[in-house]
Structure 1
């Protein structure tokens, strides 16, 4: 006997659309189907892939997803998760987490919003396995953030985007009138000590804020910007995970990570809330 589909996913059925023909889908045991005959099976881990055509390039391989899950489980980034919970509008009922990785931030937000349901989106299979069990009210799905989202217009109250790629036109399309976008990104001195100590770490664009507002301002009004900044004492293991869970992992020699020792790094992040125009 097959297991039923996760309740968290069925709560999104009325707004999920087939990525091929954009028709509404129904669930048949553990398969999503549309009237045109397209179907998408749920993975054993509980997520569904709505990718079409060539597979999207994932930013997180298995090692990166495991490093992320291990590091975040220590609670080191709890101040950031708390800030996200503080910024989110209290009336939010549907949260779409784009590039949500292992689901850590979405799970924290759902704890703050007991009436809300979440959908975490990523292209990393390993990250989705974590995300599918991150919270009982969080579903998980795969699709390419740079294509049209398989969601109806106005289907989310809040789009969450934490250290992840962005598609502002689609964010605006799937947000309900008066809906919000919550964006979290590193400030220029984020993890500065690690970047100085580890050759090959990816640098931060000094014009990041300018570029962000250039793409968001035509579609959104900025309501609040908050800086989350604190010193973080890390063990050598935690420092290695901090590097290994980012795209820098692809550019850093393994020996450079092994040489990391206990120390303190600066966490410096900007979180902003934007209302759809």
Structure 2
């Protein structure tokens, strides 16, 4: 059961929202002071999508399965450890809250929570994602977090100045909302791919390449709300089976326009292991002083 002391806001009226103990349906409930209620799905997550639907395409069940298989095999564990280290060293000793925006299957948040526990810190956690299929996985992996279906382009269901760290790993970014929910001493940890990321797999599978000027656009988007505190490159030398390579190609944005069966056919006959270089940039931002004003 997640901590009941979380800084949640109702997506309907923005009143404070509390996590209530399981009721007659044996599922916990979120309820605000104005009486709006959200029951957890039987898989353990909450659906907070209200009003106009999002234009962002959620990951499908097949894409989520591919990501769960790939990350569950530990292929990106060094990246998850680097994210956890960047977060945990910036958390207060007590009363810390972490928001994982675009939590996906929850593997990165799990690494953060485990690293914090190993450091003797209790952390309250919130996981947001637009895909209910992803949150079914995340809720199982992180039952100690509140996992919510949410559109990050809308106001986040989190109180202003209440979060110590926001993590965004290969997910859309809403700098204004991230700055709003962070405490003045909080950090925003962002992971993006670098040029050449998975080039060997992309050449065979038709994965999307890194867009030209991606780093400049990120810097411009962050400039109004955040200052860059640190940046580090994380490189992972991968040795993959053909199945793992197909999962890797399918679990990301390319999964919206590629067919898993066709991916497997493209990879059939290639010698194993398939080698590839995963190239990431891990950036730590801090809120600009005017955000707290």
TM-score (norm 2): 0.87
| Counterparts in 2 of 1:74 and 1:64: CA distance versus 1, 3 Å | same
Partner of 1:43: 41
Query: Do structure 1's residue 34 and structure 2's residue 32 form an aligned pair?
Result: yes
* Aligned 8 A contact 1:160 1:181 in 2: yes
* Aligned 8 A contact 2:44 2:143 in 1: no
Q: Which moved more, 1:247-256 or 1:147-156?
A: 247-256
Q: Which moved more, 1:22-31 or 1:219-228?
A: 22-31
Q: Distance in 2 between matches of 1:63 and 1:153?
A: 35
* Aligned 8 A contact 1:107 1:138 in 2: no
Q: Secondary structure at the match of 2:84?
A: helix
The correspondence for 1:96, drawn from 70, 94, 99, is 99
Count of matched residue pairs: 268
The correspondence for 2:234, drawn from 219, 228, 252, is 228
Q: Deviations over 1:161-192 (max 9, x none)?
A: 00000000000000011110000011121111
Q: Deviations over 1:181-224 (max 9, x none)?
A: 0000111211111111123x222112111000001122111111
Q: Secondary structure at the match of 1:178?
A: strand
Within a 5 Å distance, the mapping from 1:198-217 to structure 2 comes to: 198-199=205-206, 201-217=207-223
Partner of 2:281: 270
Query: Do structure 1's residue 145 and structure 2's residue 152 form an aligned pair?
Result: yes
| Counterparts in 2 of 1:135 and 1:38: CA distance versus 1, 3 Å | closer
Q: Secondary structure at the match of 1:88?
A: helix
Q: Distance in 2 between matches of 1:71 and 1:134?
A: 15
* Aligned 8 A contact 1:160 1:182 in 2: yes
Within a 5 Å distance, the mapping from 1:166-181 to structure 2 comes to: 166-181=173-188
Query: Aligned Cα RMSD in Å?
Result: 1.6
Partner of 2:195: 188
Unpaired segments of 5 or more residues in structure 1? 1-6
Query: Do structure 1's residue 68 and structure 2's residue 63 form an aligned pair?
Result: no
Q: Secondary structure at the match of 1:25?
A: strand
Q: Distance in 2 between matches of 1:160 and 1:152?
A: 16
* Aligned 8 A contact 2:59 2:256 in 1: no
Question: Deviation at 1:139?
Answer: 2.2
Question: Deviation at 1:106?
Answer: 0.4
Question: Deviation at 1:252?
Answer: 2.4
Q: Secondary structure at the match of 1:132?
A: helix
Q: Distance in 2 between matches of 1:195 and 1:27?
A: 43
Q: Secondary structure at the match of 1:44?
A: coil
Q: Distance in 1 between matches of 2:3 and 2:140?
A: 12
TM-score (norm 1): 0.92
Q: Distance in 1 between matches of 2:150 and 2:262?
A: 35
Q: Deviations over 1:97-156 (max 9, x none)?
A: 001100000000111112212111001111101111223432211110001011110111
Q: Distance in 2 between matches of 1:60 and 1:17?
A: 25
